[in-house]
Chain A
Amino acid sequence: MKSVAAAPEMTSAEPTPSWMTRSRTWVGAAAILLVLPHIPGLNADFGRSLLSQMGIAAVFALSFNLLLGQTGLLSFGHAVYFGLGGYATVHLMRAINHGLPVPVPLAPLAGAATGLLFGVLFGSVTTRRAGTIFALITLGIGELVYATTFMLPSYFGGEEGITASRTRGPALLGFDLGPQLQVYYVVALWAIIAAALMYAFTRTPVGRMCNAVRDNPERVEFVGYNTQRVRFVAFSAAGLFAGLAGGLHAINYEIVAADSVSALRSGTVLLMTYIGGVGRFIGPVIGAAVLTWLQASLSGYTSAWLFYLGLFFMAIIVFAPAGLAGLILMHRPIIRMPAFWRVLRAYAIAFAPALVMTIGAIVIIEMSYRLSTQPELGTRMRLFWTDIDAATPWPWLAAVVMIVSGFVVFRKTWPIVAQAWQQATTEASVAAGAR
């Protein structure tokens, strides 16, 4: 997939890929989605559920990036459209449970419609402003909707939420949504449709004008476009796809509660999108997959999960503003160069002290959390296959030594990486010049 929006370091000005290349990309993506739930490690219910969650998060994050990456709008309340779409879908599912003859796999359309409706409604207010104020307004609307869900329990079910069954309804093409595999395929199908539509949106006249508004809203006004209207269209479209993601969430979990419109969820999608990379179309998908996987695998082990997530996010902002997608794609020009192997070797060398440093930090964080939040579990704990006692000074001392020595050595290895990169980029530019 070619880049849609330019990464912060301005990489995108590539011409549109040919029709053949584009269709090959999408067919390839569909094929991957088809086989993923059958590869070992992912072919059980846990893996398939994880894949379903990733698909939902990917659609949600892509819709968020229509705002942030495409239009330059930072929203702190995007979960509103996700959650309200989820509520609409779960209500439709209840109606289906009571005999409404609609196949459940189509129910997310109700979510999409609701997301669009509220995108239009709230968008007409929020898009009156841009920049910092826009961000604050979306935050306020998010709080408004979140508080309202508790005031209207018959629609939103309060803290417990609204439940419905995805299996009690007419089957569509033999799909009754009993097994997780079927749920996954419904999610995957909607996800690829949504992704294709959002990609197409970026290549329409208004999609291009969104990019123009992101780059220079003032000039847009002088080429005939009302920037507020452009923002409004982007906002509504983002609402629609967020609502669709919420609908998929309703099918996957069979419950929608107030947390689905919460500031926490709005923050999570922001983190996913930014960590993945706002400058590339594929970025939010990478971010959604990585964060969903991390959350599933880490949140069970550590209560400090959010702290690690915050650190990860800050590291991306400061060191890699183009996100993971930017980090990966930055290697594309040098991948065929002989010096690429030197780069990889340099990475391996730098990785060792970084790992030592990280382990030291994790030990300190885990011990602190244990002492402050779970004193009832005692001070003895098992970390990295070692029994330690947080009440004694030794593990603290060891951790500090690891952090400091890791950092010192890491600083020394960094020039090796820089030098290898230098050589690889020189080779790449020579090769480009030869062509």
Chain B
Amino acid sequence: MLELATVSLLNGIVYGLLLFMLTSGLTLIFSMMGVLNFAHASVFMVGAYLSYQFARWVGFWPALVIAPLACGLIGAAIERYGLRHVHKSGHVAEILFTFGLAYLIEELVTMIWGRNAVANSVPAVIDFPLFSLFGSSFPAYKGLMMAISIAMFVFLYVALKRTRIGLVIQAALTHPQMVGALGHDVPGIFVLVFAVGSALAGLAGVIGGFMLLTQPTLANAIGPIVFVVVVIGGLGSLGGALIASMLIGILQTFAVAIDYSLLDALRAAGIAVTRASPLYDFYSIKVATAAPIVPYVLLVLMLIVRPRGLMGKRDV
């Protein structure tokens, strides 16, 4: 039991940190620009594909650098040549633009790499056991991912709260004209923010790519969970995103490990439930089967209890 709990906890933390890698870039872009980038998970997917491609050409370590940089460039282009022009039409138009972009990126990826998953396996250089726990070994790539994820948090936290540029950027969100008048290049700052956010998504993609399946539906598979995480954490809050990522990562991992249903619980309590009972279907759902809906149930509960999210401040 302890063994299961420890391994699940560790895996939960790994999954949670992966989610955080994704949400950090999203949170950065949102808190700086007030734009929810619906295509964020798609950039993550592009990062996975690019790292796969570059790893084949030049090896894993260069790919780890090139793929995020390429994603950053893509992000900069999206802001400069797309998003900027719909900004005047309001936030709904901005979300719709990134939503359409997510559509296009999925199809573009299909167009280049095909509909099936590519063989994006863990590179040999980081695929060795780091340590072993209760007989199951903990691979090095998971350790690398955790290190990168924590580094991201520290980098963003310091960049936003402790540096001059962070303060300028945050002021640019609320008072663009004023900051512009003070001699700062506001459009340039927005391009930079979008590029950094996208590069973070790309970096997450490099690692996430071989932990998940690198296929065109990857963005759709992970995207909704990421968006739920930012709502639960409180949209725009970095700390909230971290806590919510860990919470969902751990809860979901534990749920997957529990092979019992409400039916078992009822029977253990001495209540007879037969196939003919109403709601039999519902009772017999195993917790493990219900794991995919854990984030969404948590979302609904959060909205009932605390609509602005764990660390949310302003209403957006």
State the A residues within 8 Å of B (CB): 8, 68, 72, 74, 76, 125-126, 128-129, 131-133, 135-137, 139-144, 147-148, 151-155, 263, 267, 270, 274, 304, 306-307, 309-311, 313-314, 317-318, 321, 365, 368-369, 372-373, 375
**Pair A140/B228 contact, Cβ less than 8 Å:** yes
Return chain B residues, CB-CB under 8 Å to A304. Answer: 107, 111
Q: Is the CB of B82 within 8 A of A318?
A: yes
The answer to whether A139 and B224 have CB atoms under 8 Å apart is yes
Q: How far is the CA of A301 from the CA of B278 in the complex (A)?
A: 47
Query: B111–A135 contact, CB under 8 A?
Result: no
Kindly list chain A residues whose C-beta atoms are within 8 Å of the C-beta of B85. Answer: 318
5 closest Cβ contacts across the A-B interface?
A144-B296, A307-B107, A310-B103, A310-B104, A372-B114
1/0 contact string of B288-309 vs chain A (CB within 8 Å): 0110110111011001100100
Contact between chains at B293 and A147 (CB < 8 Å): yes
Tell me whether B111 and A306 are in contact (CB under 8 A).
Answer: no
CB distance from A41 to the nearest CB of B (A): 31
Shortest CB-to-CB span from B312 to chain A, Å, is 8
CB distance from B4 to the nearest CB of A (A): 23
Binds A, one of B67-75, B91-99, B137-145: B91-99
Q: Taking the nearest CB of chain A, how far is it from the CB of B79, in angstroms?
A: 14
By a CB distance below 8 angstroms, the chain A residues around B280 are 154
Residues of B contacting A129 in the complex (Cβ-Cβ under 8 angstroms): 303, 307, 315
Does any Cβ of A come within 8 Å of B48's Cβ?
Answer: no
By a CB distance below 8 angstroms, the chain A residues around B303 are 125-126, 128-129, 137
Chain A nearest CB, measured from B110 CB (Å): 6
Docked CA distance A274–B114 (Å): 29
- Asked if B230 CB lies within 8 Å of chain A CBs, one says yes
Q: Can you list 26 A-B contacts (CB < 8 A)?
A: A8-B89, A129-B307, A129-B315, A131-B91, A132-B36, A136-B231, A137-B299, A140-B228, A140-B231, A141-B299, A141-B300, A143-B228, A144-B299, A147-B292, A151-B290, A270-B96, A304-B107, A307-B108, A314-B104, A317-B97, A321-B86, A321-B89, A369-B111, A372-B114, A373-B114, A375-B114
A365 to B315, CA, bound (A): 42
Give A129 Cβ to nearest chain B Cβ, in Å. Answer: 6
Evaluate contact between A74 and B92: CB separation under 8 angstroms: yes
Given contacts A140-B224, A307-B111, contact A313 B103 (CB under 8 A): yes
Query: Which of chain A's residues have a CB closer than 8 A to the CB of B235?
Result: 132-133, 136
- List of B residues within 8 angstroms of A143 by Cβ: 224, 228, 293, 296
B92-125 vs A: 1/0 string, CB under 8 Å? 1101110111011011101111110000000000
Q: Contact at A263–B97, with CB atoms within 8 Å?
A: no
B285 touches A (CB below 8 Å): yes
- Do B95 and A306 touch across chains, with their CB atoms under 8 A apart? no
CB-based contact B296/A141 at 8 Å: yes
Residue pair A151, B91 in contact (C-beta under 8 Å): no
Chain A CB within 8 A of B282 CB:
yes
CB-defined contacts of B104 to chain A, threshold 8 Å: 307, 310-311, 314
Contact of B93 among A76, A136, A307, A317 (CB under 8 A): A317
- In this complex, how many residues of chain B approach chain A with their Cβ under 8 Å: the count is 51
Could you say which residues of chain A place their CB within 8 Å of the CB of B295? 140
Query: Would A125 and B300 count as touching, CB distance under 8 A?
Result: yes
Does B316 make an interface contact (CB < 8 A)? yes
Q: Are A372 and B103 in contact (CB under 8 A)?
A: no
Q: Which of A8, A132, A306 has the most CB of B within 10 A?
A: A132
Question: What CA separation (Å) do A306 and B220 show in the bound complex?
Answer: 15
Report the nearest A residue to B112, measured CB to CB: A372
With A and B bound together, what is the CA distance between A321 and B93 in angstroms?
8
A313 surroundings in chain B (CB, below 8 A): 100, 103
User: 7 more A-B contacts (CB under 8 A) besides A136-B235, A154-B280?
Assistant: A74-B96, A129-B303, A132-B316, A133-B316, A143-B228, A310-B104, A318-B97
Bound complex: CA of A19 vs CA of B97, how far in Å? 39
> Closest approach, in angstroms, between the C-beta of A309 and any C-beta of chain B?
7
Cβ contact of A368, chosen from B91, B112, B296, cutoff 8 A: B112
**Distance (Å) between the CB of B26 and the closest chain A CB?**
11
Contact indicator A151/B285 (Cβ below 8 Å): yes
Chain B nearest CB from A53 CB (Å) reads 21
- Contacts of A263 on B, CB cut-off 8 Å? 220, 224
Q: Chain B nearest CB: distance from A115 CB in Å?
A: 19
Q: Measured between alpha carbons, how far is A136 from B230 in the docked complex, in Å?
A: 9
A137 to B99, CA, bound (A): 15
Closest beta carbon of chain A to B162's beta carbon, Å:
27
CA distance in complex: A372, B109 (Å): 10
Q: How far is the CB of B81 from chain A (nearest CB, A)?
A: 10
User: How far does the alpha carbon of A36 sit from the alpha carbon of B230 in the complex, in Å?
Assistant: 48
In the complex, what distance in Å separates the CA atom of A372 from the CA atom of B91?
A: 35
Given contacts A144-B300, A318-B86, contact A133 B100 (CB under 8 A): no
Nearest neighbor of A368 in chain B, beta-carbon distance: B111
Q: How far is the CA of A140 from the CA of B231 in the complex (A)?
A: 10
Q: Give chain B residues whose Cβ lies under 8 Å from the Cβ of A132.
A: 30, 36, 91, 95, 235, 316
CB-based contact B110/A373 at 8 Å: yes
* Chain A positions within 8 Å of B95 at CB level: 74, 132, 135
